[in-house]
Structure 1
Amino acid sequence: MTTKTKRFFLPESEIPTQWYNIQADMVNKPMPPLNPATREPLKPSDLYPIFAKALADQELNQTDAWIDIPEAVREQYKNYRSTPLVRAYGLEKALGTPAHIYFKNESVSPVGSHKLNSAVAQAYYCKQEGVTNITTETGAGQWGAALSYAAKAFGLELAVYMVKISYEQKPYRRSIMQTFGAQVTASPSMSTKAGRKILTEHPNYQGSLGTAISEAIELAMSTPNCKYTLGSVLSHVTLHQTVIGLEAEKQMQMAGEYPDIVIGCFGGGSNFGGISFPFMRHNILEGKKTRFIAAEPSSCPKLTRGQFRYDFGDEAGYTPLLPMFTLGHNFAPAHIHAGGLRYHGAGVIVSQLLKDKLMEAVDIDQLESFDAGTLFAQAEGIIPAPESCHAIAAAIKEANKCKETGEEKVILFNLSGHGLIDMAAYDKYLSGDLQNYALSDEEIAKNLAELE
C-alpha cells in the first residue's frame, strides 16, 4: 500500500533569502501614487517622514525583481518558517471532487496568521534606522498581534489603533497585543484630531480601517522618533509576504504538482499577493496559464464592484493618493466578522493586475464563508479565521466545478490564519444570528460620487 504524503516541509536552509518584487516584471507598471498636496508622482523621500527609509524605497521600487531578506529577519522567520504545504485530502473527500486541493498553512505562526512575515521586516527596518516608537492600525487584530510580537523582538514601543467594532468583538486579540507590551486604543478615539472629528460628526461610529489608519499616521507624525507601519495594501507589505508563495513553489515541486488555480482571501492584498505573485511571474515571463482568484466579502466588494481611480488610503486624507480599485475612502463597511477584509481599497499592484486581467476576483457572502470554514474544520481539523474562510469558499467553488466536469485540477489556497480567537463569530454563525450584507449599486455610486 502506498502512503500518501499529507504535509510538505522545507528545511530551515530553504527559507527564502530574497523577497520577490513583481513590479519589476509587470509589463504595465502600477501608476504612480501622487503627493496629495502637489498631485505630482510620489518620490521615496515624500514617504520618509512616515515610514522607515528602507520601506519607502521598497514601496516605489519597480526595477529590482529580487530584494535580499536581512539575516536578522530570516533568524526571526526560523521561529515558524517554513510553514507546511498541506494536501487537503479530507476536504477533497468531503466534496467528492477529483480536484487536488492544497493549502499553505500560515496559521502556525506564533500569532496565528501570515501577518508576522511583514511585521518582523518592518520592525527590523525601523530599528535599523534608530526609531524607538512605531504606530499602526488593525482591523480584526491579526496585524496588531503580529506587530506587537515583532516590536518586542526588536525592542520598539508600539501603539495600536484597533477598529472599535473589532475591539469589542475580539477582546482576546487585544489581550495578545497587550501581552506583548503594546498599547491598544479603540478607533475612532478622542486622542487624535481625526478621531475627534469623526466622533463629533458620528458619535456612535463603530470604526473602519480608514479611520484607524488616519489616527495611527497622525500619532506617528506628532511623536518624536516615531514611524508608522502598515499591515496590508502597500507594495512593500506584499513584497514581504512573497515568502509564502516562494516556499509554496518549492513545496509544490516536492508534491510533484503545479497549481492550475491559486486563491487568497482579499482585504488589501498582502496575503493574496504573497501566495500568488511568485507563481504569477511564470505567467508573465513564461506564458503559464495559472488562474489567480482574490476572494473578498460581498459587503466590501472593491475588486468586483468598486471603481478604479485615485483615492486616499485613509479616511482623513493623510495618505498619498493611490491608483486603486476603491469603494471610496469615506466607505463605512458593515459590521461583518471578517474584520480584516473590510478595507475600502485594494493595493496598487493588485489593482493594475486586475485591470490587465492577470487575475480575477469573486465576492463571497458572509454565511457562505462560514459554511465553507465549518466544512473545512470538520474535514481538516483546523478552524480557520473568518478572513481565510473566503479563500476556502472560493476553493470549494472551483473544486465543485471540477466535480461537474471531471477535471483533476490542482487548486492551491492560502490558509492565512486560524480562527481560535474568533469563536464569538462562529458562535453567532452556529446560533443563526449571522446575516449577509449586500451593498446596492445606488449605495456604491453615491459613495463614489462624494469623492468628486
Structure 2
Amino acid sequence: MGTTSLPTSWRSVLPHLDEQLPPDRTPQTASRDGVQVNLPMELVRQSVLQKEHWDIPAEIVEAYRAFRPTPLWRAERFERAVGARVPIYVKYEGGNISGSHKLNTALAQAYYYAKAGVRELVSGTGAGQWGTALAAACAMFGMKCTVFMVGNSLRRKPYRGTLMRTLGATVHASPSPLTEVAAQSRAGVNSLSLAIGEAVEYAAKTDGAAFCIGSGETYSILHQSVIGLEAADQLAALDAEVDAVVGCVGAGSNFGGIALPFFAEAAATGTRAPLLLAAESSTTPKLTRGTYAYDRTDATGTGPMEAMYTIGSSYPIPDSHSAGLRFHGAAKVLSAMRHRDQIAATAIGQVDALDAGRLFTRSEMVLPAPESGHALAAAARLASAGADANSGLLRSERGVVVCVSGHGYLDLGAYQQLMDGELSDVAPDPEELRRAMSGLQTAQEPVGAGAHHD
C-alpha cells in the first residue's frame, strides 16, 4: 500500500491553461433583490489568480491529519475479476467521518467562512456526502449548519440525515415548504439544482448565514488537489506508472482533485499528460451529450451564469442511484478543459456502476459508494477492453489510477435493489434534453484554445 506525507500546499491548474476561463455573466432574471452569494476573499483569490501553489493554513493541515494521507493500493484481486491487462491503482477517500472526499474542501471552506465572521453555513446536497462533510466541518469550527438534501435521496438513505443531525446540523428534505424557489419549481424531487437553490434562498434570508457549496467551484477543486498530489507521490513510491486517471463526475470535485495535479505536473515539466477520464451518470450526461453554454448553477436563476457543459438546469433528471452525480452541469474549469480536448468523458449506467461496486467489494473488501462505482466501471473498461464502444477510448497500456471517492455503507439499499433485480437504466429523453438546452447562450471558444468535440 502506498504511503506519503501530507501535502502542505494545494496545486492549481489555472496557470497551465491556454487561456483564462470564460467570465461569468449576470443572468437576465437578476434584479436588485436577487440572491447574493458572498465569498470570503481568499476563496475568490483561489478562483481567479494565476497562482500555482497555495499554502494550506496550519489549522486545516492539522484537521487533515486525522484522515490524511489516504491510502492508495494496487487492486490486484479486482484486476483479476475484471480481466485487466494492466495494473489498477485505487486512491480511497472514504475513511473519514463524512465517508467521502468532500471533507477536504468542507474543512477549508468552514475555516475561511469562520474567519470572515459567518456563524452559519447553508448548503444543498444530493447523496448526502457533502452535507455530512459540511456538518462535520461546521462542528469542528464552531458554526451552525443547515442542509437541504434531495428528497428522494434522503428517503432512501435516512441515516445520512441522522448522521448530519448527530453532527449538529439541521436537515430539510428538498423540495421543502421553506422557500419560494421550491414552490415554483418544476424540477421535482430528483434535482440537486433545486436543493442548492433552496439553500441559496434560505441563506440570503438568514442573519449571519452564508451559502457554500463543495463540488464544481474552482476553489473547491483546488482544495481537492491533495488527492492527486498524494496519489502521484504514492505511485512514485511504488515505482508505478499510469497512463490514465479516472474519477466520477457530478460537478467534478473528486475527478478534478485526482486528475488535475497530473495535468499540472505534465504541463510544468513539458511531458505528456495521462488520459484524464471523467465517468458520469448516463442519466445526467452533460459531458457526453450536453452543450458548452452559459447556464445557471441552481434553481433560483439569480446567481451568475457560468460557462459549462450542461444538459440544462431545467432538465427533469431520471431517478437513479447515481445520487451525487445528478447535477445538470460540470465545473467551469473541467468544462473548459473538455472543450479543448484536455479531458475525456464516458457515461456509465447505474446497473454497470453498482455491478462494478459489488465486484470491487467482493474482491477488495471495500464497499464503494454508487458514484464511485461509475469510476470503477470506467477504469475496468480502460484496463481490460480493447476499445470502449461508448467513448471511443483505447485501453490503457501502462496502468490506471482511479479515485474511489467514498464508501457505500449508507447506500446499501441500492445494492439490495441490484441483487433483487429491481434496477434498470432510464435513458434521457432526447426531446427533453433538446428542450432543456434550447435557448442557452453558447460559450465561445477562448482565443488561443484548442479545437473541441462533443
TM-score (ref. length: structure 2)? 0.91
**Partner in structure 1 of residue 17 of structure 2:** 26
**Partner in structure 1 of residue 357 of structure 2:** 373
SS of structure 2 residue aligned to 1:248: helix
**Partner in structure 2 of residue 209 of structure 1:** 192
**Partner in structure 1 of residue 219 of structure 2:** 236
CA deviations on 1:229-257 (whole Å, 9 max, x unpaired) are 10201111111100000011110110102
Relative to structure 1, is the Cα distance of residues 18 and 197 closer, same or farther in structure 2, using a 3 angstrom cutoff?
Answer: same
Do 1:140 and 1:340's aligned partners in 2 also have CA atoms closer than 8 Å?
A: yes
**Partner in structure 1 of residue 259 of structure 2:** 276
Alignment of 1:67-146 (within 5 A): 67-146=54-133
CA RMSD for the aligned pairs?
2.0
Alignment of 1:173-322 (within 5 A): 173-198=160-185, 205-285=188-268, 286-322=270-306
**Partner in structure 1 of residue 27 of structure 2:** 36
Counterpart CA distance in 2 for 1:362 and 1:190 is 37
CA deviations on 1:143-200 (whole Å, 9 max, x unpaired) are 00011000000000001000111111110111110000000001111111111222xx
SS of structure 2 residue aligned to 1:233: coil
SS of structure 2 residue aligned to 1:107: coil
Which one-letter code corresponds to 1:438 in the other structure? Answer: A
Alpha-carbon shift at residue 25 of structure 1 (Å): 1.4
Q: Does the alignment pair 1:401 with 2:381?
A: no
Counterpart CA distance in 2 for 1:52 and 1:25 is 25
Counterpart CA distance in 2 for 1:408 and 1:189 is 49
Which one-letter code corresponds to 2:432 in the other structure? Answer: E
SS of structure 2 residue aligned to 1:113: coil
Alpha-carbon shift at residue 38 of structure 1 (Å): 10
Relative to structure 1, is the Cα distance of residues 162 and 38 closer, same or farther in structure 2, using a 3 angstrom cutoff?
Answer: closer
Q: Does the alignment pair 1:8 with 2:35?
A: no
Q: Does the alignment pair 1:50 with 2:38?
A: yes
Counterpart CA distance in 2 for 1:406 and 1:449 is 35
Counterpart CA distance in 2 for 1:369 and 1:126 is 36
Relative to structure 1, is the Cα distance of residues 236 and 289 closer, same or farther in structure 2, using a 3 angstrom cutoff?
Answer: closer
Q: Does the alignment pair 1:60 with 2:48?
A: yes
Which one-letter code corresponds to 2:345 in the other structure? Answer: A
Give 5+ residue unaligned stretches, structure 2. Answer: 389-393, 442-454
Alignment counterpart, residue 439 of structure 1, candidates 420, 425, 428: 428
Counterpart CA distance in 2 for 1:352 and 1:183 is 36
Structure richer in helix, relative to its length? 1
TM-score (ref. length: structure 1)? 0.92
Do 2:123 and 2:200's aligned partners in 1 also have CA atoms closer than 8 Å?
A: yes
Alignment counterpart, residue 384 of structure 1, candidates 347, 364, 368: 368
Relative to structure 1, is the Cα distance of residues 197 and 38 closer, same or farther in structure 2, using a 3 angstrom cutoff?
Answer: closer
Counterpart CA distance in 2 for 1:321 and 1:155 is 32
Counterpart CA distance in 1 for 2:190 and 2:415 is 22
Counterpart CA distance in 1 for 2:244 and 2:74 is 14
Relative to structure 1, is the Cα distance of residues 47 and 26 closer, same or farther in structure 2, using a 3 angstrom cutoff?
Answer: farther
SS of structure 1 residue aligned to 2:10: strand
CA deviations on 1:293-346 (whole Å, 9 max, x unpaired) are 000011100000000011100122022100000011112211111210000001
CA deviations on 1:235-294 (whole Å, 9 max, x unpaired) are 111111000000111101101022200000010010000000100113333131410100
**Partner in structure 1 of residue 148 of structure 2:** 161
Alpha-carbon shift at residue 37 of structure 1 (Å): 5.7
Do 1:50 and 1:221's aligned partners in 2 also have CA atoms closer than 8 Å?
A: no
Relative to structure 1, is the Cα distance of residues 183 and 428 closer, same or farther in structure 2, using a 3 angstrom cutoff?
Answer: same
Do 2:100 and 2:407's aligned partners in 1 also have CA atoms closer than 8 Å?
A: yes
SS of structure 2 residue aligned to 1:108: coil
SS of structure 2 residue aligned to 1:8: coil
Do 1:302 and 1:345's aligned partners in 2 also have CA atoms closer than 8 Å?
A: yes
Counterpart CA distance in 2 for 1:37 and 1:369 is 39
Do 1:8 and 1:86's aligned partners in 2 also have CA atoms closer than 8 Å?
A: yes
**Partner in structure 2 of residue 42 of structure 1:** none
SS of structure 2 residue aligned to 1:177: helix
**Percent pairwise identity:** 38
Relative to structure 1, is the Cα distance of residues 403 and 353 closer, same or farther in structure 2, using a 3 angstrom cutoff?
Answer: closer
Alpha-carbon shift at residue 361 of structure 1 (Å): 0.2
Which one-letter code corresponds to 1:54 in the other structure? Answer: E
SS of structure 2 residue aligned to 1:92: helix
SS of structure 2 residue aligned to 1:238: helix
Counterpart CA distance in 2 for 1:95 and 1:190 is 47
**Partner in structure 2 of residue 4 of structure 1:** none
Counterpart CA distance in 1 for 2:190 and 2:386 is 41
SS of structure 2 residue aligned to 1:231: coil
SS of structure 1 residue aligned to 2:385: helix
Counterpart CA distance in 2 for 1:406 and 1:221 is 48
Which one-letter code corresponds to 1:254 in the other structure? Answer: A
Which one-letter code corresponds to 1:157 in the other structure? Answer: K
